[in-house]
């Protein structure tokens, strides 16, 4: 029987002899490599926190003690040690989430798959415990894998440091190899010294007594205090944290369970906020990951664990790669174009641009707010920034888009990868909010290309705008075949007409064009004629669209965005403003947090396939146009 299979809870883990823990760590790594290469997921970060997670659950008693993970994608080992060892459906419908999930376990407190939030959560949890008199309850925030580059983390640290008597343990998982490791008896002695209350009382006595001693007292205290701080700074980079008023332990070897347990035990007993700085190796124990200079196998698709080749090679070209290639071409023509990303250089397709133009590429870390306002500065300085982020992460920088870019009428282009339904990463990563949030930004122009040709064209149109923010959005998917237009009216592409006098105007946004074309053919079989159009730029609404609507009896909009406040709502408002009295119905994603599943599964479930769009449109038409259509019957299969 394996050790791992015998650990069904943290209580089981605490009964294991210390001598068995290296074997357990090896088994966990073997499990992760086997399981995650089968399903895909975040591999490198979790290989790096095996010993750290073991030590955390041996020192702290979850769920009574609260452990918050930041970012949440480094919680796979935590899942294993809290009784969740079936990874066969990881990130798939019905399987484990790739992040902490309250629905899965009482040990998962915060579903924080957006980075840099754990310290603020922990600050609130520690305050609540103090106010409720829960003095035996500890709060731990595990932050790392880049999350300390986010400004929110430092706002939280500023507040945490202000409460000297409020217990809170901050574990910094430092996997960037920025500092040399301090190991051995001296480091352990310094850790004990810095976290002993007697030592704190001695310092307090020394300050009071020596500074009251005439003439020689203050210089002696200053000299001793300065020597102590200088001595500590020579061994560990704690100065910044201690200047904030936080006790600092480390650096600790993050792969030495005994050293980790010792440091965490001292932090647990200190009675105030403590930083425990752990040095870990991302991808630890899996040579291909350790040797991958790009991202240490941060996230992988299903691969062969021995060859590291994809199990199912991609069948097409991704939206991301088309964007990356086109931006590279634009960069060659436009020396004023610069690129900005927030710790996502490769995932958003900027690697080629960065290689060609390193001086024009800026990776600001997990700091979307700074990325946007820095872009505003670049634009004010005479450049045209292209800010490439996941759609879900632009939510974090809305104020900066509104007040720093749009208010100043600056030419900044935002490229939103992973827009609409993303699928396996779950609720927090679905990019279904951008077209609603951005509708309220004055002057902003938003494009949703339907195919590769349109992406190339609309990216170029976007960077040509110098007096307003522009947005180009596309999904996490391979690009389908080109969808040619039969004509263009104003700025609106007409994709299909199924009759001489079409009754239904089907307004498709971006990649929903393919579903709209399928739906139009199915609707024709039901006796409804349709015009399918792609507005291309969905904000502002093109003036041609109300004129087209006036020629039809029903307008149905289709978008892979939340139904509330999105493109459909904007189109309906534009028709009202133009006094076009044609009913409008909106198809889109339900305004709820969608669980993790494959993108195709979620699109089918939410009615955004050709069959789903046809069925819903036919129902609208039969209600609103009772004189038209065939008697009720099931729509034919695609």
* Structure confidence by residue, pLDDT tens digits, 564-586: 999 999 999 999 999 999 999 99
Identify whether the C-beta of residue 346 lies closer than 8 Å to the C-beta of residue 295.
Answer: yes
Q: How many whole angstroms separate alpha carbon 555 and alpha carbon 492?
A: 15
Cα 428 to its chain centre, rounded Å, is: 7
Give dist(CA 474, CA 348) in Å, integer. 11
* 234 annotated ligand-binding residue: no
* Residue 179 marked as a ligand binder: no
CA atoms within 13 A on the CB side of 484: 1
Helix residue ranges per DSSP H, 351-503: 351-356, 368-380, 391-394, 398-399, 434-437, 452-463
> Which pLDDT value is given to residue 492?
98
Averaged pLDDT score across all residues of the chain: 88
Find out whether 120 is annotated in a ligand binding site: no
Could you tell me whether strands 492-497 and 487-489 are parallel, antiparallel, or unpaired per DSSP bridges?
Answer: antiparallel
Which is catalytic among the residues 84, 282, 296, 456?
Answer: 282
- Tell me whether residue 113 is annotated as binding: yes
Distance, in Å, from the CA atom of 362 to the CA atom of 384, rounded to the nearest integer, reads 13
Q: pLDDT value at position 183?
A: 31
Which residues, including other chains, have CB under 8 Å from residue 205's CB and lie 6 or more apart? Answer: none
* Greater pLDDT, 367 or 626: 367
Considering the candidates 396, 456, 473, 585, report the single residue annotated as catalytic. 396
Running DSSP on this structure, what letter comes out for residue 187? Answer: H
What's the whole-number mean pLDDT along residues 269-281? 94
pTM for this entry: 0.84
pLDDT at 342: 92
Please tell me which residue in 51, 261, 368, 526 is annotated as part of the active site. Answer: 368
Higher pLDDT, 233 or 460: 460
DSSP classification of residue 296: S
pLDDT higher than threshold 60 for residue 191:
no
pLDDT at 145 over 60: yes
Instruction: Establish whether 146 is an annotated binding residue.
Output: yes
173 is known to lie in a ligand binding site: no
Considering only CA atoms, which of 547, 526, 539, 536 is closest in space to residue 613?
526
Report the pLDDT averaged over residues 276-301.
90
- Is 242 catalytic? The answer is no
Predicted pLDDT of residue 216: 56
Of residues 370, 326, 362, the one with CA closest to residue 344: 362
Q: What is the pLDDT of residue 356?
A: 98
**More confident call, 74 vs 190:** 74
pLDDT (0 to 100) of residue 427 = 82
Q: Catalytic annotation on 551?
A: no
Active site residue 396: yes
175 annotated binding-site participant:
yes
């Amino acid at each position: 029987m394996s050790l791992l299979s015998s650990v069904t809870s943290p209580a089981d883990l605490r009964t294991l002899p210390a001598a068995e823990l290296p074997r357990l760590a090896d088994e966990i790594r073997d499990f992760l490599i086997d399981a995650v290469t089968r399903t895909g997921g975040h591999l490198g970060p979790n290989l790096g926190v095996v010993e750290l997670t073991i030590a955390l659950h041996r020192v702290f008693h979850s769920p009574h003690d609260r452990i918050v993970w930041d970012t949440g994608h480094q919680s796979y080992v935590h899942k294993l040690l809290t009784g969740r060892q079936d990874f066969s459906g990881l990130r798939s419908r019905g399987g484990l989430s790739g992040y902490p999930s309250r629905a899965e376990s009482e040990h998962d407190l915060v579903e924080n798959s957006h980075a840099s939030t754990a310290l603020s959560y922990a600050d609130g949890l520690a305050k609540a415990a103090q106010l409720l008199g829960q003095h035996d309850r500890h709060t731990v925030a595990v932050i790392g894998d880049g999350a300390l580059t986010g400004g929110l983390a430092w706002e939280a640290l500023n507040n945490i440091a202000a409460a000297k008597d409020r217990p809170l343990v901050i574990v910094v998982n430092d996997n960037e190899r920025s500092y040399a490791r301090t190991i051995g008896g001296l480091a352990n002695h310094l850790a004990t010294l810095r976290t002993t209350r007697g030592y704190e009382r001695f310092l307090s006595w020394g300050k009071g007594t020596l500074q009251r001693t005439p003439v020689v007292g203050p210089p002696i205290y200053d000299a001793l205090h300065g020597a102590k701080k200088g001595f500590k700074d020579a061994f560990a980079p704690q100065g910044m944290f201690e200047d904030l008023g936080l006790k600092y332990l480390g650096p600790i070897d993050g792969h030495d369970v005994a050293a980790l347990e010792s440091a965490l035990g001292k932090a647990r007993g200190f009675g105030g906020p403590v930083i425990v700085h752990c040095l870990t190796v991302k991808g630890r124990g899996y040579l291909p990951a350790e040797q991958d200079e790009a991202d240490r196998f941060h996230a992988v698709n299903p691969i062969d664990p021995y060859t590291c080749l994809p199990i199912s090679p991609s069948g097409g070209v991704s939206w991301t790669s088309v964007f990356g290639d086109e931006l590279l071409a634009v960069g060659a023509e436009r020396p004023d174009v610069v690129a900005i990303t927030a710790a996502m250089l490769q995932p958003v397709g900027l690697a080629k641009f960065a290689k060609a133009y390193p001086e024009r590429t800026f990776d600001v870390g997990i700091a979307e707010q700074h990325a946007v306002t820095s872009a505003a500065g670049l634009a004010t300085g005479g450049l045209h920034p292209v800010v490439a982020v996941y759609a879900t992460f632009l939510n974090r920088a809305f104020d900066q888009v509104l007040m720093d870019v749009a208010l100043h009428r600056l030419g900044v282009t935002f490229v939103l990868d992973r827009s609409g339904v993303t699928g396996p990463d779950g609720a927090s990563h679905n990019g279904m909010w951008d077209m609603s949030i951005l509708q309220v930004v004055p002057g902003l122009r938003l494009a949703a290309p339907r195919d590769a040709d349109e992406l190339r064209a609309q990216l170029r149109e976007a960077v040509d705008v110098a007096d307003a923010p522009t947005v180009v959005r596309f999904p996490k998917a391979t690009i389908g075949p080109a969808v040619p237009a039969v004509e263009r009216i104003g700025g609106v592409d007409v994709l299909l007409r199924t009759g001489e006098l079409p009754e239904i105007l089907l307004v498709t946004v971006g990649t929903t064009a393919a579903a709209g074309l399928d739906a139009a053919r199915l609707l024709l079989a039901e006796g409804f004629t349709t015009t399918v159009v792609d507005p291309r730029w969905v904000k502002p609404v093109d003036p041609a669209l109300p004129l087209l609507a006036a020629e039809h009896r029903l307008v149905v909009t289709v978008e892979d965005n939340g139904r509330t406040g999105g493109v459909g709502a904007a189109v309906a408002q534009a028709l009202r403003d133009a006094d076009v009295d044609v009913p409008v119905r909106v198809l889109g994603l339900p305004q709820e947090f969608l669980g993790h599943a494959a993108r195709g599964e979620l699109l089918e479930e939410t009615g955004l396939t050709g069959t789903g769009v046809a069925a819903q449109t036919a129902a609208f038409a039969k209600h609103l146009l009772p004189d038209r259509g065939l008697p009720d019957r099931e729509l034919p299969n695609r």
